């Protein structure tokens, strides 16, 4: 039997962050992983998808060349084999960076195998028994594939295998228009793939604000067909597969499944750790410490199903790694909520979403701006989108925002920092806004919010000398 202070199951973003914290206190630890190394982000997520999106955006820009007086765009063609080789080349570079970070401890602390709980402190890994004082579950997630569809898997693409394709299909169905489906679906559309998308609702990229949902639905439906129905059945034809959704039937070559991700807890033996599991096989856990109550087990990263984005997974890894080597658990204040979909325009949710504010019964007001008439957006020929910023109706304190705007990724960061600093709309307006930049649209939305909040009618936007410093 092998004994250690901490056993970490999973060498993804959360697991690696946990290892760094654990290694500061003890060298008696083990990291267990039976899958491909390199993290979901670098291998199949954040990074390769952005390479594909960049290629798509560059190729699609040719449609504006004649308007700009740049002739010859009709001669530009796409070599999709080279495009995908480029994606994999940069993907391998990013994965290589992760692999290099493993070098100093891989031979001594990494155990390749499938871990299964015997009890809350004992693991079996391919016949070897490991006794650990604390255990961290950081096993990540995988794409959802409905069981009823598994017989047709040869037609399926998902975020785990799409970047391995040598070429792109001529016709592609996309099921689900959340972050993954929208990013990849729109990028492939720009690369001249014939896209038909299927979604049950208007939560494009996670949007919850009804006004933005309607705007997004109209915008993306103008780019490629969007069927607002669930898929009833699939019918292989030999040359492709027919997607049946209500009275709508379309034949495609391949089907991109983007219906979310499922926590990797199968055959992990969680039933043996001494807690009751929910209907999905998941244990309860404390949100501020990430401990599974009554056990020596912690859980972090995409496997929790809460915030499947890299910075959240890394933060959770730090929390569980820190707590796994302490006498007592410590609570940690989480960062301001921030999610970004790298569609064009970008879609982002900052702080509390519209849906969350409504569910929480918050008395809030909305500041709005359209990017269809925004100066810099017009210059870039990217003048589409809406931005809504939410503030407390009584004092104007910023609460959240939903964004669909060009360069929205940057405004989302500005807003998340403003929320984290506890700024009001008026205080945010006192910050500098250069001209001409897309951030001026954000200023318009903040002005709209400030004008609607009681006591902040038409604010001067400059702080008086006697006012306390912002953030002070």
Residues 6+ apart with CB under 8 A from 69: none
d(Cα 134, Cα 122) in Å, to the nearest integer? Answer: 9
pLDDT score at 457:
54
Q: Enter the DSSP assignment of 457.
A: S
Q: Which of 53, 302, 346 is nearest to 206 (CA)?
A: 346
pLDDT value, residue 466: 80
Q: Are 321 and 10 within 8 A, CB to CB? A: no
Q: Where are the alpha helices (DSSP H) in 1-116?
A: 13-23, 40-44, 46-60, 80-109
Contact 184, 87 (CB under 8 A): no
How confident is the model at residue 305, as a pLDDT?
Answer: 84
Contact 399/449 with Cβ under 8 angstroms?
no
Residues 251/256/261/267 CA torsion (nearest 10 deg): 80
DSSP character for 435? T
Secondary-structure breakdown of the chain: helix, strand, coil percentages, each rounded to the nearest 5: 35, 25, 40
pLDDT of residue 308: 81
- As a dihedral over the C-alpha atoms of residue 212, residue 441, residue 463, residue 367, rounded to 10 degrees, the angle is -20
Pairing outcome for strands 226-227 and 141-143: unpaired
Q: Tell me: cis bond preceding 468? Omega within 30 of 0 counts.
A: no
Q: Is the peptide bond before 436 cis (omega within 30 degrees of 0)?
A: yes
What pLDDT, on the 0 to 100 scale, is given for residue 296? 97
pLDDT by residue for the chain (472 residues), tens only, comes to 999 999 999 999 999 999 999 999 999 999 999 999 999 999 999 999 999 999 999 999 999 999 999 999 999 999 999 999 999 999 999 999 999 999 999 999 999 999 999 999 999 999 999 999 999 999 999 999 999 999 999 999 999 999 999 999 999 999 999 999 999 999 999 999 999 999 999 999 999 999 999 999 999 999 999 999 999 999 999 889 999 999 999 999 999 999 999 999 999 999 999 999 999 899 999 999 999 999 999 999 999 988 788 999 999 999 999 999 999 999 999 899 999 999 999 999 999 999 999 999 999 999 999 999 999 999 999 999 999 999 999 999 999 999 999 999 999 999 999 999 999 999 999 999 999 999 999 999 999 999 999 654 555 688 788 877 776 5
| pTM for this model (two decimals) | 0.95
Distance CA 294, CA 345 (A): 46
- Find the radius of gyration of the CA atoms of the chain: 24
Q: Exposure string (b/e) for 403-441, b if CB count within 10 Å is 16 or more? A: bbbbbbbbbbeebbebbeeebbbbbbbeeeeeeebbbbb
């Amino acid at each position: 039997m092998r004994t250690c202070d901490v056993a970490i199951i999973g060498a993804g973003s959360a697991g690696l962050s946990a290892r760094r914290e654990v290694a500061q206190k003890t060298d008696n630890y083990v990291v267990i992983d039976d899958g491909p190394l390199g993290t979901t982000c670098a291998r199949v997520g954040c990074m390769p998808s952005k390479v594909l999106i960049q290629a798509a955006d560059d190729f699609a820009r040719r449609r504006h060349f004649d308007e700009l007086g740049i002739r010859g765009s009709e001669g530009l063609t796409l070599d999709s084999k080279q495009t995908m080789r480029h994606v994999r080349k940069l993907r391998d570079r990013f994965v290589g960076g992760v692999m290099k970070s493993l070098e100093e401890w891989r031979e001594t602390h990494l155990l390749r195998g499938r871990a299964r709980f015997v009890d809350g402190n004992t693991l079996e890994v391919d016949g070897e028994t490991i006794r650990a004082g604390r255990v961290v579950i950081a096993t990540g997630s995988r794409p959802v594939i409905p069981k009823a569809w598994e017989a047709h898997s040869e037609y399926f693409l998902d975020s785990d295998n799409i970047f391995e394709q040598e070429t792109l299909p001529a016709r592609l169905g996309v099921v689900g228009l959340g972050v993954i489906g929208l990013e990849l679906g729109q990028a492939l559309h720009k690369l001249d793939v014939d896209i038909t998308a299927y979604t049950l609702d208007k939560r494009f990229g996670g949007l919850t604000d009804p006004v933005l949902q309607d705007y997004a639905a109209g915008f993306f439906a103008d780019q490629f067909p969007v069927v607002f129905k669930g898929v009833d059945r699939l019918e292989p034809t030999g040359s492709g597969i027919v997607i049946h959704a209500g009275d709508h039937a379309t034949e495609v070559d391949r089907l991109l499944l983007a219906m979310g991700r499922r926590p990797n807890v199968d055959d992990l033996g969680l039933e043996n750790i001494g807690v009751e599991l929910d209907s999905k096989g998941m244990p309860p856990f404390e949100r501020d410490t990430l401990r599974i109550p009554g056990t020596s087990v912690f859980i972090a990263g995409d496997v929790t199903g809460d915030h499947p984005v890299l910075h959240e997974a890394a933060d959770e890894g730090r929390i569980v790694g820190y707590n796994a080597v302490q006498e007592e658990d410590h609570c940690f204040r989480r960062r301001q909520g921030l999610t970004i979909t790298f569609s064009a325009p970008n879609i982002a949710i900052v702080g509390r979403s519209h849906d969350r504010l409504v569910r929480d019964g918050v008395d809030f007001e909305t500041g709005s701006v359209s990017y269809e008439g925004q100066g810099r957006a017009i210059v870039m020929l990217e003048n589409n989108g809406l931005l809504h910023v939410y503030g407390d109706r009584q004092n104007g304190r910023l609460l959240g925002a939903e964004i669909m705007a060009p360069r929205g990724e940057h405004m989302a960061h500005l807003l998340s920092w403003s929320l984290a600093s506890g700024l009001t709309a008026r205080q945010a307006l006192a910050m500098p806004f250069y001209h001409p930049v897309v951030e001026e649209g954000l200023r318009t939305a903040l002005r709209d919010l400030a004008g609607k909040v009681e006591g902040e009618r038409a604010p001067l936007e400059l702080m008086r000398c006697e006012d306390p410093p912002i953030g002070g």
